Amino acid sequence: MCKRPGEPKNNDQYLISMQHPPPKMPLRSPYLCRMQILNGKETAQAIKDSLKLEVAQLASRGAPVPHLVAILVGNNGASETYVASKVKACHEVGFKSTLIRLEEETSELKLLEIIRGLNIDPDVDGILVQLPLPAHISAEEVINTIDCNKDVDGFHPNNVGRMVLGQPTFVPATPYGIMLMLEHYKVETRGKHAVVIGRSNIVGRPMSILLSGSSNPGNCTVTICHSSTKNLEEICQSADIIVAALGRPGFVKADMVKEGAVVIDVGITRVDDPTKKSGYRISGDVDFTDVAPKCSFITPVPGGVGPMTIAALMKNTFRACAMKHYD
């Protein structure tokens, strides 16, 4: 995968030095490896632009446009930010959106009653309940209650089952967004060893299924690592593709990464930073400055997986609407 310096390069490609922070301009890498940033912001924008056109065409014919309902229970700061981004994206692409905010103390029964109402509301195409939920509410019960045809998160057991079987369905937005990004940048995945760090139902587990699937991107040999994995560093060193989704800032270091690897950083941890107005910055699971010079492709944080997750959710919501009205 690594190329010699001096070969033609396009504007998205960078040669960078280990001694420097993430580059604003091309620099030379001691590994002679051409690194390309997987720009999630730009890729997500292209997806949203295309959806916006489709929605405008629907609207011009007087057809129903997709309607996403997001439910936020309590006031977890990070969840507030994510839900606000989802609502903003709906607005950008021309979807209808409704945000239902519920008090932290809302009972599980009340939440399930609201979901059942949305399930039978013909005006609603997609329902998402932002996770995590307060401890007194069972996420499993909530997910199982959402009509699987409106489950744009792809968390309902029916949809997970369909994904595992390789059938068309709603795919969880973060792994779906990563697959869309690999596809957009034509990253070769067939026959590669992919290591997924993290086994959450939202990211790690579905990611491992998709990468091992028989579509492209996919066709990888996948190892899934978690807190009980022995020799994690050694396993990562043999990876052609690493997806870091464990929620530990800066966990993946250069000595864990093979030269020419593709590194996807799913981490979005808030880390205290008094130099920022907000008092925090968002940190990925990969030590970007350390790791980037060895990579063929790498996602930045922010601006990598995050915007792709939102774009993928928009695609799922469009799909929910199309399934209902146009299939």
Residues with active-site annotation: 86, 130, 153
Complex with ligand GUN: residue 131 or 254, whichever CB lies closer: 131
Note the residues at the interface with ligand GUN (CB under 6 A).
Answer: 128-131, 153, 173-174, 202
Using alpha carbons, select from 37, 35, 1 the residue that is nearest to residue 16: 35
Tell me whether residue 5 or residue 157 sits nearer to ligand GUN (CB atom): 157
Q: Can the peptide bond before residue 217 be classed as cis, meaning omega within 30 degrees of 0?
A: yes
Tokens for 27, please give them: 């620099």
Nearest residue to ligand GUN on Cβ basis: 131
Residue with smaller CB distance to ligand GUN, 153 or 265: 153
How far apart are CB 116 and ligand GUN at their closest, in Å? 18
DSSP symbols for 12-30: TEE---TTSSS-SS----T
CB of 77 to ligand GUN, least distance (A): 13
Separation of alpha carbons 250 and 211, rounded Å = 24
CB 154 within 8 A of CB 173: yes
Bridge pairing between strands 96-102 and 126-129: unpaired
What is 211-236 written as a DSSP string?
Answer: HHSSSSS---EEEEE-TT-SSHHHHH
Minimal distance in Å, beta carbon 142 to ligand GUN?
10
Q: Which is nearer to ligand GUN, 72 or 236 (CB)?
A: 72
Residue closer to ligand GUN (CB basis): 218 or 306: 306
DSSP calls for 102-143: E-TT--HHHHHHHHHHHHT-TT--EEEE-SSPPTTS-HHHHH
CA distance between the termini of the chain: 42
CB of 129: closest distance to ligand GUN in angstroms? 6
d(CA 18, CA 138): 46
